[in-house]
Amino acid sequence: MKLARKALEKSQAPRRSEDVLVEGIQKERKHYGFWSSMTYEDLISYARNFIKEKGIKNRSSLAETCQSLYGILRKRNLLDTVFPNVEEPKKSIKKNKMIEQAELDYKKTIRLILGLLGGEG
């Protein structure tokens, strides 16, 4: 009876984390203080290598892939260093033309009003 109980306990024993990692079920976790022990240069180097290996193209992909790395880069204001090619959104040409037209219309209206006022006075 005791042997059967021990065999049952062994089969239901929780898996060791190494076994789970080998099977690919659980992600590998960084030890506590992994990021805080890194200098800025080390962190930038690690992040660039990680991004290159994973084929990450933008910040949101990094946040989805490794939230802790994204968080520490954001906290240390290093996102611009790691992702230097981020451009500001450009105004569309159509929007620029609409703004220019509105300015011209405004100037014409002001001239018309000033002309009318100047003629009356």
Cα dihedral: 29, 72, 49, 62 (round 10): 80
Q: At which residue do the structure tokens 């042997």 appear?
A: 3
Contact 45, 14 (CB under 8 A): no
Q: Give the residue-averaged pLDDT of 35-56.
A: 90
Cα separation of 35 and 76, whole Å? 11
Cα separation of 47 and 86, whole Å? 16
Is residue 102 pLDDT above 60, yes or no? Answer: yes
Contact 40, 76 (CB under 8 A): yes
pLDDT computed for residue 4 by the predictor: 56
pLDDT computed for residue 46 by the predictor: 92
pLDDT computed for residue 84 by the predictor: 78
In percent, how much of the chain has pLDDT > 70? 63
The DSSP symbol for 83 reads S
Q: Give the residue-averaged pLDDT of 79-98.
A: 72
pLDDT category at 114 given cuts 50, 70, 90 is confident
pLDDT category at 28 given cuts 50, 70, 90 is low
Start-to-end Cα distance in the chain: 115
